[in-house]
């Protein structure tokens, strides 16, 4: 059973997410919050597997709540998925940098939202490919040179650098495996090793690394 909490200042949005969660046999809703401070308190009280978190909320906003949760060692088992609108894409990248496990759009298909919860709980790919590509493209244009050191890059093998570049496109392990004619297990192994070497919290932070390091696919312009 995947234990879920949600935080959004819009009652209608909370109701919609509640209905989606409660109709799934493998999901359990632990509680709701309408602002960042309440979200932090809820997570500390219930320690959910996944928190669905809005960014723009009154008082303590979602980003501050996210940082508070990620910085708390007692809450390291909670994955945070940002549920947002693309109009605030600058917040999305900040959220990934702060430690969010990914994001989905509020107007996504209900099945995509439910799948995001399951994928986040499993620690696997959880970034919507189409949105990820747009966000990465947007911020790649605005991050001059990046801040990742060459020594960090040297920790990765050529194959691992290639895999991390593919991760930044938003593709899942299965999709990357098909592109590279590898098995999903092999791709998963490379992703895991790269994550450990770079000290990344999860797959989402590999996207941040790839953007800052300027890692691109050979066919990228």
Q: What is the pLDDT of residues 29-65, one digit of tens each?
A: 999 999 999 999 999 999 999 999 998 898 999 999 9
Taking the C-alpha atoms of residue 59 and residue 164, their distance in angstroms, rounded to an integer, is 36
Taking the C-alpha atoms of residue 184 and residue 197, their distance in angstroms, rounded to an integer, is 20
3-state SS, residue 143: coil
Model confidence at 208: pLDDT above 90: no
Position 33 scores a pLDDT of 97
The vertex-46 CA angle with 73 and 172, nearest 5°, equals 70
Query: What is the mean pLDDT of the segment spanning 87-115?
Result: 78
User: Could you tell me whether strands 79-84 and 102-105 are parallel, antiparallel, or unpaired per DSSP bridges?
Assistant: parallel
Higher pLDDT, 212 or 107: 107
Taking the C-alpha atoms of residue 107 and residue 33, their distance in angstroms, rounded to an integer, is 20
Model confidence at 160: pLDDT above 60: yes
Count of CA atoms in the C-beta half-sphere (13 A) of 21: 24
Higher pLDDT, 33 or 175: 33
Query: What is the mean pLDDT of the segment spanning 84-101?
Result: 73
Residue 28 neighbours by CB distance under 10 Å? 15
Report helix angle 129-140 to 203-213, nearest 10.
Answer: 30
Among 146, 179, 141, residue whose Cα is nearest residue 162:
179
Model confidence at 14: pLDDT above 50: yes
- Answering whether pTM is above 0.85, one says no
User: Could you tell me whether strands 2-7 and 102-105 are parallel, antiparallel, or unpaired per DSSP bridges?
Assistant: unpaired
Sheet with 2-7: list strands edge to edge: 27-33, 2-7, 50-53, 79-84, 102-105
- Place 221 in a pLDDT band, splitting at 50, 70 and 90: very low
């Amino acid at each position: 059973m995947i234990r879920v909490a949600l935080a959004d200042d819009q009652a209608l949005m909370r109701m919609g997410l509640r209905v989606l969660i409660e109709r799934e046999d493998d999901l359990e809703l632990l509680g709701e919050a309408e602002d960042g401070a309440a979200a932090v308190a809820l997570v500390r009280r219930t320690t959910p597997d996944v928190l669905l978190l809005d960014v723009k909320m009154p008082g303590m906003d979602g980003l501050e709540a996210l940082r508070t949760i990620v910085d708390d060692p007692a809450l390291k088992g909670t994955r945070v998925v940002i549920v947002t609108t693309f109009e605030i894409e600058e917040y999305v990248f900040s959220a990934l940098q702060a430690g969010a496990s990914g994001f989905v759009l509020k107007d996504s298909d209900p099945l995509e939202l439910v799948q995001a919860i399951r994928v986040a709980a499993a620690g696997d790919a959880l970034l919507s490919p189409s949105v990820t590509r747009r966000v990465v493209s947007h911020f790649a244009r605005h991050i001059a040179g990046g801040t990742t050191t060459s020594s960090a890059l040297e920790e990765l093998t050529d194959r691992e650098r290639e895999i991390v570049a593919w991760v930044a496109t938003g593709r899942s392990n299965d999709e990357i495996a098909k592109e590279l004619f590898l098995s999903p297990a092999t791709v998963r192994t490379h992703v895991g090793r790269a994550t450990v070497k770079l000290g990344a919290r999860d797959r989402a932070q590999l996207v941040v690394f790839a953007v800052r390091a300027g890692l691109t696919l050979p066919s990228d312009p």
